[in-house]
Amino acid sequence: MRHLVTSLFVAVSLLFGAQAQAAGPPGDTSTTRPAVRVGVLKFGTVSWELDTIKSHGLDAGEGIDLRIVDLASNQATQVALQGGAVDMIVTDWLWVSRQRAAGADFTLAPYSTAAGSIMVPANSPINSIADLKGRRIGVAGGPLDKSWLLLRALSIQKNGFDPDKDSEKVFAAPPLLNEQVANGGVDAALNYWNFAARLKAAGLRQVVTVDEIEKELGIETSVPIIGYVFHDAWADANGLALNAFLRASQKAKAIMRDSDDEWRRLAPLTKAEDDATLLALRDGYRAGIPTSWGDAERRDAERVYEILAKLGGRELVGDSPQLSPGTFWAGIRF
């Protein structure tokens, strides 16, 4: 009971705190424009794009006021969206599909195709997925991590072994995983793209990317991993503001794709320790900018879902063995 009360107190505190932060300072003239409240990890990679929107006045140019609501964790962003403290967050479409299967009306517009990669020390004998058999593999997240499941699927299909059974796996937080592979605590690390970029800048070697793994599994397009997630009902009631925000997002991506000066401005926010790290983060972000989103990408997302559901089972996808209808917002194509 005490656990439940504590959890409820934390959730309520989170929602009221986020609402207070989103309200803006007294006398803020931006309140004359429709507000779009986006919940984000303060030092996460999404904050770079949102900062670019605000710094260049792209939201004002589209007739809206972007309100950035800093939150402490991915779970906190989901709680904030569910509780109405924010209008939008960035998360993956597996979560959206599972929520829709349970009766929620969340939907997603693509944000990024950037995924992780397998990194090893420069002098490592590991040169392919086949070389991972019997090795000590560090994995960011847990046993249901999407990249880990895709790696397992390809290894089973093409190399005849399951890393979950035939290799030693170590699940760890991304920063700790970087330390482990750099110091020899693990033979290889499957980490998120921004942490893999830091390893690359430090001289470690990339064995394979998750995008390459998907291609080997027959996925022909680059499927967005995560996207801007919001309620269908909110989109219906705020269609003009939503489309204005998505246009501002595309303009910010174009600036970050084309301007090296923008990355120098963003350097403090990225917490890059040196120029090499900043360049690696820049290149990784640019590689993840979606270039197309249509029927082919949606079909491939369904195929990825089927692969993940087969290995992740009910614990990953809940009551939906197939991607839930409406997971992807119908109002965007490019």
Return all residues near 86 (Cβ < 8 A) that are at least 6 apart. Answer: 18, 22, 37, 38, 39, 69, 77, 80
Compute the distance between CA of residue 128 and CA of residue 187 in angstroms, rounded to an integer. Answer: 13
Report how far residue 258's alpha carbon sits from residue 251's, in angstroms, rounded to the nearest whole number.
11
pTM across the whole model: 0.90
pLDDT at 30: 57
Per-residue pLDDT 10s for the chain (334 aa) are 444 434 444 444 454 454 444 444 555 555 689 999 999 998 899 999 999 999 999 999 999 999 999 999 999 999 999 999 999 999 999 999 999 999 999 999 999 999 999 999 999 999 999 999 999 999 998 999 999 999 999 999 999 999 999 999 999 999 999 999 999 999 999 999 999 999 999 999 999 999 999 999 999 999 999 999 999 999 999 999 999 999 999 999 999 999 999 999 999 999 999 999 999 999 999 999 999 999 999 999 999 999 999 999 999 999 888 999 999 999 999 9
- Domain 35-113+224-317, CATH class in plain words: alpha beta
For 213-223, give one letter per residue: b (16+ CB within 10 A) or e: bbeeeebebbb
Distance CA(166)–CA(181), nearest Å, equals 19
Find residue 38's DSSP bridge partners.
Answer: 68, 88
**Cα torsion angle, 147, 151, 154, 157, sign:** negative
Span 116-217: which CATH code? 3.40.190.10
Phi and psi at 278, nearest 5°, equal: -60, -45
Residue 147: phi, psi to the nearest 5?
A: -65, -40
Rounded CA gap, 93 and 99, in Å?
10
d(CA 303, CA 323): 9
Closest CA to 211 of 290, 103, 105: 290
The whole-angstrom separation of Cα 32 and Cα 38 is: 18
Amino acid of residue 292:
S
Q: Where do we find the tokens 């599909």?
A: 97
Q: Which residues contact 5 (CB under 8 A, 6 or more apart)?
A: none
- Equal fold, 35-113+224-317 vs 116-217: yes
What is the C-alpha to C-alpha distance for residues 318 and 102, in angstroms, rounded to an integer? 8
The answer to whether 66 and 245 have CB atoms below 8 angstroms apart is yes
Contacts of 259-267 spanning 24+ positions with Cβ under 8 A: 262/52, 265/55, 266/48, 266/51, 266/52
State CA 280 to chain mean position distance.
17
Q: What residue ranges do the domains of the chain occupy?
A: 35-113+224-317, 116-217
By C-alpha distance, which of 315, 330, 331, 3 is closest to 145? Answer: 315
pLDDT of residue 141: 86
